[in-house]
Amino acid sequence: MAQAQETQTNETSAGHGATTAHTEVPHDGGHAQTMFPPFNGETFPSQLLWLAITFGAFYYMMSKMALPRIGGILEDRRDRIASDIAEAGRLKQETEVAIASYEQALAEARQKAGGIAQATRDKLAGETEAKRAAVEKDLNAKLEEAEKRISGIKEAALADVGEIANEATNALVESLLGKAPTKTETSKAVSASMS
Amino acid sequence: MSNDPIHQFHIVNLFPVEIGGVDFSFTNSSLFMVATVAVTTVFLMMATGGRGLVPSRWQSVAEMSYEFVANMLRSSAGTDGMRFFPFVFSIFMFVLVGNLFGMFPYFFTITSHIIVTFALAMLVILTVVVYGVMRHGFHFLNLFVPAGIPAILLPLVVLIEIISFLSRPVSLSVRLFANMLAGHITLKVFAGFVASLGSLGALGVAGAVLPLAMTVGLTALEFLVAFLQAYVFAVLTCMYLNDAIHPGH
């Protein structure tokens, strides 16, 4: 590899020598105008004239045609973007107003719904309360009546207890003494012993 | 002759014109000046013909070149400088397209001749001087008197400023001319190696690979230089115009 590289460089320098030798031949033995072309004053007037003509024409076409057109295009685009942004801003504002009114309506509706629910709840609670009170009153009345009946029955039963006691006493005394006492005697004795 | 790296700069008369004993022939240089102007103008007009709100590819190239130069000018010379926009744009496009045309094989490079670049540079400097004097009158000379310099140093600084001002057209023109000239000579020399090595047989053909690779690389570099030099020329034009607009820096 290194060998190849070396040969290459040798070749290159050889080529270099060949090239310079080659180029120098026409240079030295060339015609009178082998002067370095950019410094050849003979061509200056022509170059200056044609530069003036072409550059002048170029400047004219740029300043009168091309640049106003490109500038106009850029201006139009800027205007269009600005107006589009303004339009978008306007639409956004409208949207915001719509959202605000929607939210207000929603809040009102919610409030109204809450009111209705509360009123219904209150009304139902009132009705339930009234029914409960009526039922309780009814129940109390029934309870009272029942208690009254119980106490009546109890009294009657107690009264019957006296009668039964009399009869039982009568029967006991009769079987013990062989002779029944009078009712008045028995009841007097019974009530005396019971009280 | 085909290996002569200077050959490509020769000016050939195509159509002889002589006015008052002076040779004003239409030459290959003139031809490429005309081609540069015609191609650039036709391209810009065709590309923007649609006036599309959404640009086509060609139209965006035209718009990019417009905005590129406009931003360059606005950033160095301010909004006031925009009155010179057509001028700077013309110079930039003329030099750029002229340089790029030179990259075609067998094409002539108009900017490889010092007289052309010097004429463009003088056009810039004369514009600066004429506009500066028109707008600021005597105050334009403030350009040579920087503010905040001690009185003792002032003559020296003014002298330096004057010399630097006078050397502007020279540096502006020589920079572009020398870059284009040297680039094309280098390209030609390396391409010449390829041809002369290739004629030396199998080994020579193998050896020619190196200069060929070099030529490919140089070609890419020359495209960069073609753009860069047009840009540098235009940027310096903008900065000099800024001096004409705001002389007291």
Q: What is the DSSP string of chain A?
A: -HHHHHHHHHHHHHHHHHHHHHHHHHHHHS-TT-S-GGG-GGGHHHHHHHHHHHHHHHHHHIIIIIHHHHHHHHHHHHHHHHHHHHHHHHHHHHHHHHHHHHHHHHHHHHHHHHHHHHHHHHHHHHHHHHHHHHHHHHHHHHHHHHHHHHHHHHHHHHHHHHHHHHHHHHHHHHHHHSSPPPHHHHHHHHHHHH-
Q: How many CB pairs under 8 A join A and B?
A: 169
- For residue A110, the enclosing domain spans 54-194
Instruction: Please list every residue in chain B whose beta carbon sits closer than 8 Å to the beta carbon of residue A74.
Output: 63, 66-67
Amino acid B140: pLDDT: 86
Contact yes or no for B192 and A50 at CB 8 A: no
Q: What is the overall mean pLDDT for chain B?
A: 90
Amino acid B232: pLDDT: 96
- Region B98-124 average pLDDT: 93
Amino acid A3: pLDDT: 45
Smallest CA–CA separation between B152 and chain A, in Å? Answer: 43
Would an 8 Å CB–CB cutoff place B146 in contact with chain A? no
CA nearest to B176, candidates B116, B245, B101: B116
Between residues B52 and A15, the one the model is more confident about: B52
Between residues B2 and A102, the one the model is more confident about: A102
Confidence of residue B4 (pLDDT cuts 50, 70, 90): confident
Smallest CA–CA separation between B209 and chain A, in Å? Answer: 9
Residues of chain B with pLDDT > 90, as a percent, come to 63
- Region B188-203 average pLDDT: 87
Amino acid A126: pLDDT: 94
Least confident of A2-6, A71-75, B37-41, B149-153: A2-6
Amino acid B249: pLDDT: 57
Chosen for mutation from B3, B4, B43, B200 (greatest number of chain A CBs closer than 10 Å) is: B4
Residue A38 domain flag: no
Amino acid A181: pLDDT: 78
- Region B36-54 average pLDDT: 91
Contact yes or no for B30 and A50 at CB 8 A: yes
Sign of torsion over alpha carbons A81, A86, A89, A94:
negative
Between residues B95 and A18, the one the model is more confident about: B95
- Report the domain count for chain A: 1
Would an 8 Å CB–CB cutoff place A47 in contact with chain B? yes
Contact yes or no for B41 and A66 at CB 8 A: yes
Smallest CA–CA separation between A85 and chain B, in Å? Answer: 15
Q: pLDDT at residue B204 above 90? A: no
Which residues numbered 6-65 in B keep a CB inside 8 Å of some CB on A? 6, 9-11, 17, 22-27, 29-30, 33-34, 36-37, 40-41, 44-45, 48, 51-53, 55, 59, 62-63
| CA-to-CA separations, A125 to A116, A117, A128, B35, in angstroms, rounded | 14, 12, 5, 100
Question: Which residues does chain A have with pLDDT short of 70?
Answer: 1-34, 195
Amino acid B34: pLDDT: 95
Instruction: Please list every residue in chain B whose beta carbon sits closer than 8 Å to the beta carbon of residue A38.
Output: 9, 112-115, 177, 181
Contact yes or no for A11 and B207 at CB 8 A: yes
Confidence of residue B23 (pLDDT cuts 50, 70, 90): confident
- Report the domain count for chain B: 1
In this prediction the ipTM stands at 0.90
- For residue B113, the enclosing domain spans 7-245
Residue B2 domain flag: no
Would an 8 Å CB–CB cutoff place B90 in contact with chain A? yes
Would an 8 Å CB–CB cutoff place A13 in contact with chain B? no
- Region B83-102 average pLDDT: 95
Residue A180 domain flag: yes
Amino acid B127: pLDDT: 94
Residue B1 domain flag: no
Confidence of residue B3 (pLDDT cuts 50, 70, 90): low
